[in-house]
Chains A and B, each alone.
Chain A
Amino acid sequence: MTPATDPERWLGEYGDLLFRYAVARVGDISIAEDLVQETLLAAWRGRGRFTGQSAESTWLVGILKHKIADHFRKQPPLSLEDSGLDLDRYFDERGHWRRAPESWPDPERELYEEQLQAALRQCVGHLPPRFRNLFFLREVEGLSGEEICKQMPVSSTNNVWVMLSRMRFQLRQCLEKAGFSHSGKGE
């Protein structure tokens, strides 16, 4: 057995990376473990197709991405109800803010970006799983709306903007609750 086709070695070298990536996308430990397992098995069966042109880790993550897309395609298309967010709590009948969004610390302040990133990481973990996936695909990987719909069905393509909007609304709301807006006492 050549070293390049050794699933035990893959597991040792890339197991954690694959697992972390899967959790970031599906938000569930046991589903992520299953996806890593399926990925290694598929990689083993398709090992003849690994050309060595890309890094081995890239090849494996690529297979994992297909498995993750299959996982989301098995579910009904994402719809507004899945966000668990009732916008009427935040806007009145005429669409006015019921309560103004709080101001944030001054972006010029020291450590502002680090604090924002840390708070965001916390809040992303609290999103419903498929909204977490939306965050990762759009904000981290920079996929377009159309590309996102191929990775995870959304009830209509036009709706992907609405879903992304809900996702950001929720994140912002969580940051405010987590006290991000208060962390700049000077304001």
Chain B
Amino acid sequence: MLSCKEAAGLVSKSLDTRLSWRERAALRMHIAICRMCRNYQKQLRAMTKAVRKSSAEAWLPPLRLSEEAKQRILRHFRSER
């Protein structure tokens, strides 16, 4: 019987790679009887789905290069070229 800690690890791993049949069977058994890990699985899946459904651009922070940084970069460029 898996512990919840192990089950939580496998829940995540299953989002990244194919589990071995042994891991899959153990996880399925645990999830069937453990509501907490079932919740955890649902939530991790929802998180992954929320990211994959949006564009990559949405995950870039809403920042701009400062004017100072731009000037610094241009100065550096002129001296290096």
Contacts and interface: CB of A to CB of B under 8 A. Distances in A.
Contact of B47 (A116, A136, A144): A116
A23 B73 contact: no
Contact of B36 (A97, A125, A172): A97
A145 B18 CA distance: 12
Contacts, number: 135
A56 interface: no
Contacts of B51: 117, 120, 139-140
B6 A113 contact: no
Question: Chain B: interface secondary structure?
Answer: helix
Contacts of B5: 87, 91, 95-96
A184 interface: no
Nearest to A99: B36
B65 A33 contact: yes
Interface residues of B, number: 44
A54 to B, nearest CB: 16
Q: Which of B44, B46, B62 has the most CB atoms of chain A within a 10 A radius of its CB?
A: B46
B46 A116 contact: yes
A169 B12 contact: yes
Interface size class, chain A: 35 or more
A172 B48 CA distance: 11
Given A8-B74, A116-B46, A139-B48, A103 B80 contact: no
A70 interface: no
B62 to A, nearest CB: 8
A174 B42 CA distance: 16
A83 interface: no
Given A100-B36, A104-B39, 10 more contacts: A11-B73, A15-B70, A16-B65, A23-B60, A87-B5, A94-B3, A97-B36, A138-B16, A161-B16, A165-B12
Instruction: Give 9 nearest A-B pairs by CB, closest first.
Output: A95-B3, A165-B12, A95-B5, A20-B60, A91-B5, A19-B65, A100-B36, A139-B51, A161-B13
15 contacts: A15-B65, A19-B63, A24-B61, A37-B73, A44-B81, A95-B5, A101-B40, A101-B43, A117-B54, A120-B50, A145-B16, A165-B8, A165-B12, A168-B44, A172-B44
